[in-house]
Amino acid sequence: MPGTGLWRTKSIEQSIADTDEPDTKLRRNLSAWDLTVFGVAVVIGAGIFTLTARTAGDYAGPSVSLAFVFAAIACALAALCYAEFASTVPVAGSAYTFSYATFGEFMAWIIGWDLILELAVGAAAVAKGWSVYLATVLGSLFGKGAATTFDVGGVTVDWGALLVVAVLTTLLVLGTKLSSRVSMVITGIKVAVVLFVIILGLFYIKGANYTPYLPPGESGGAGQTGVDQSLFSLIAGGASSSFGVFGLLAGASLVFFAFIGFDIVATTAEETKNPQKAVPRGIMGSLAIVTVLYVAVSLVVVGMTNYKQLATSAGDGSHKTLATAFSDNGVDWAANIISFGALAGLTTVVMVLMLGQVRIIFAMSRDGLMPRGLAKTGEHGTPKGATLIVGGLVALAAGFFPADKLEEMVNVGTLFAFVLVSAGVLVLRRTRPDLPRAFKVPLMPVIPILAILACLWLMLNLTVLTWLRFIAWMVLGVVIYFAYSRRHSLLGKRQADGTGDPVKPA
């Protein structure tokens, strides 16, 4: 039976029934191939073009390839749990919807609130990165004086970031099928660039650069002491999280950012023709493709350039990228091609992050935890109001505010979502064994338990400061839930007037 109060759950049948409401109905027109493209589109982006070099230089050294493997294992375990949930509950909202069906409304709100922060922060940060690469490309075409920012009354306006967010918001309003087609073209370009990096880079590899594979730990560097070092290294008494075992583990938690996106495939389940089969294929397919590419790129980059040359500059704090490895080897023309590829890559990352953000808000609004008007779908079968609001907020953050290191904030929230989804699979198997499941997690309950432990382990290796910011955001979410969402909950109103879930479990 559904619970009451904070722990009231929304039945699977009710979640699916709500997808047929005329005013909030999404159009089903995506295939397994579309979902795979979406997954690869968002995953191959900021992580591969920026994090690989910086993680090697600041944290892991040549063992950055092993850090990618560790992160990929955690993602694969969680991906199996996402695939079962998404094939069983093909409803927009991803981890939010899954949590509502298993842990209750309060935990669903917490995870939804968490995902709002992570996706919005991620989209804004990547939009800023897109603008930086645009300036680089414009500089190579028209001279080094080209810029994507200007000052108005002492305020710096990033017109490059505003441009990409405005264009992508328009595409998302016009429909996810059109968005998928645009993603397919751009994704093809950036996958070609990644393959170009791997193939050309093989000719510049120097075996000496792989030694030592795991550099000894240092007391300084990027992983400094106090709130800037990983929580695990602080608890374990490590001097810092720069290199050594602590550096490798911190590096795995950082490059996890490069895999974020496959879970967004689950947010489009409600818009998929055959979600029971297409969603698991899209999730696992996109994850498999990017893992192979990531490990190959990381091996090539650290083989081309000594990891010490990839460290964050102490003077200006600038970050090294894939292009740095080619510039250091005198292949500037290749560095320019990589910059063009990065520009294309970051475009689809911003778009799919915004798509995931809109679908989370759409699902929460349909349940009454946010204003119901945001769940209205327009003539194109998309939630126009929610899309425009998300586009406006991301544009505001990316266009007028300076961007700092935001990868870890995105990571901690996403890992938290993965933990709940993995635990939710265990709960739903026990509470609703009767549900038809097109895809089942193998080796139950071993895989979900391993997924939970792996994600918690990666969370422990994020910085103390990241944890403090995450806790502050969660506290704000709790306040909003009790001040607004709990009183406006559609499920709560149904229980109050005695109707409960109109669709009862079989």
Domains of the chain: 5-496 (1.20.1740.10)
pLDDT score of 484: 92
Per-residue pLDDT for 270 more than 90?
Answer: no
Helix then strand then coil, in percent of the chain rounded to 5, is 70, 5, 25
Per-residue pLDDT for 349 more than 60?
Answer: yes
One-letter-per-residue 3-state SS of 249-311: HHHHHHHHHHHCCHHHHHHHHHHECCHHHHHHHHHHHHHHHHHHHHHHHHHHHHHHCCHHHHC
Q: How many Å apart are CA 286 and CA 298, to the nearest integer?
A: 18
Residue located via tokens 């560097």: 221
Instruction: Indicate the average pLDDT of the chain.
Output: 78
Cα-Cα end-to-end distance for the chain: 12
Number of CB atoms found within 10 A of residue 150's CB = 10
For 136-151, write each residue's pLDDT tens digit: 778 777 766 667 787 7
Angle among Cα 53, 418, 92 to the nearest 5 degrees reads: 110
Distances (CA, A) of 270 to 89, 231, 279, 299: 9, 38, 10, 38
Q: How many Å apart are CA 67 and CA 70, to the nearest integer?
A: 5
Angle among Cα 185, 188, 189 to the nearest 5 degrees reads: 90
Q: How many Å apart are CA 281 and CA 278, to the nearest integer?
A: 5
Average pLDDT over residues 42-48: 71
In 3D, which of 95, 100, 93 has the Cα closest to residue 6? 100
Per-residue pLDDT for 25 more than 80?
Answer: no
- Residue 408, Cβ density class (10 Å: 0-12 exposed, 13-18 middle, ≥19 buried): buried
Instruction: Grade residue 480 by pLDDT with cuts at 50, 70 and 90.
Output: very high
Per-residue pLDDT for 425 more than 50?
Answer: yes
pLDDT score of 57: 81
pTM: 0.74
Of 44-48, 211-215, 247-251, 362-366, least confident by mean pLDDT is 44-48
For 215-230, write each residue's pLDDT tens digit: 887 655 544 555 666 6
Structure tokens that stand for 313 in this block? 């500059």
For 113-130, write each residue's pLDDT tens digit: 888 877 887 888 888 878
Exposure on the CB side of residue 491, measured as CA atoms within 13 A = 31
Per-residue pLDDT for 266 more than 70?
Answer: no
Q: How many Å apart are CA 477 and CA 240, to the nearest integer?
A: 32
Q: What DSSP string runs through 431-492?
A: H-TTS--SS--SSTTHHHHHHHHHHHHHHHTSBHHHHHHHHHHHHHHHHHIIIIIHHH-HHH
Of 80-94, 97-111, 276-290, 340-354, least confident by mean pLDDT is 80-94
Of 13-27, 53-67, 244-258, 460-474, least confident by mean pLDDT is 13-27
Q: Name the phi and psi angles at 226, rounded to 5.
A: 70, -140
Please list the residues that pair with 30 across neighbouring strands: 272
Is 246 in contact with 230 (CB distance < 8 Å)? yes
For 157-180, write each residue's pLDDT tens digit: 888 888 999 998 888 887 655 556
Per-residue pLDDT for 74 more than 50?
Answer: yes
Q: Name the phi and psi angles at 240, rounded to 5.
A: -165, 180
Q: What DSSP string runs through 126-137?
A: HHHHHHHHHHHH
Structure tokens that stand for 172 in this block? 């998302």
Is 320 in contact with 310 (CB distance < 8 Å)? yes
Residue located via tokens 């910086």: 54
pLDDT score of 357: 84
Residues 6+ positions from 27 with CB-CB distance below 8 Å: 175, 176, 177, 271, 380, 381, 382
Average pLDDT over residues 3-19: 67
Q: How many Å apart are CA 86 and CA 15, to the nearest integer?
A: 12
Average pLDDT over residues 361-388: 81
Is 171 in contact with 178 (CB distance < 8 Å)? yes
Of 32-36, 92-96, 189-193, 492-496, least confident by mean pLDDT is 92-96
Number of CB atoms found within 10 A of residue 173's CB = 20
In 3D, which of 164, 175, 166, 171 has the Cα closest to residue 345? 164
